[in-house]
Amino acid sequence: MTHPLTHPRPLDAAQALDAHLDLIVRDIEGWLALFADDAIVEFPYATALGVPGRFEGKAAIRRHFQGTIERFRDLSLRDVRRYPTTDPDVALAEVHGSAIILPSGKRYEQDYVMVVATRDGKVVRYREYWNPAPVAEAFGELAAPREGAS
């Protein structure tokens, strides 16, 4: 067993959310280190665009985000509004994001609702709600919503 003084205390969900907001814009490997090996990332509205809405396991999360985040130039997350919960393993926030999408150079503005759940100091579930319309506009190559998509 590791001595408690040799390592910092495990992150609670609010601290993990703050670390997420800091690291996702500048250090993808540091960001990935926040996640448990069996973590799940969900984008409930992604399927409306015909793209995957769930990534299970750290390897799948890595593949998705390494390919995606590189397309967000000058990504900034601001206007963070945190909502305290009674459970230290759950954190909620609303965040505004801005970026230039590569290679098109289109401006991207999005409002997100983020939910982070932790276990033993690691993120085990990250759920991000966003409006599909700005995504379709900025990433023009994405298919328009398909009939019957849910």
For residue 61, being part of any structural domain is answered with yes
The model's pLDDT over 25-84, given as tens digits with 9 standing for 90+, comes to 888 899 999 999 999 999 999 999 888 999 999 999 999 888 777 788 889 999 999 999
Report the CATH number at residue 30. 3.10.450.50
Q: What's the half-sphere exposure (Cβ side, CA atoms, 13 Å) at 28?
A: 15
- CB neighbours of 95 closer than 8 A, spacing ≥ 6? 21, 77, 78, 79, 80, 81, 111, 112, 114
Residue span of the structural domain in which 20 resides? 13-138
Q: The whole model's pTM is what?
A: 0.84
Domains in the chain, number: 1
Q: Cβ(94)–Cβ(111) under 8 Å?
A: yes
The model's pLDDT over 83-97, given as tens digits with 9 standing for 90+, comes to 999 999 999 999 999
For residue 27, being part of any structural domain is answered with yes
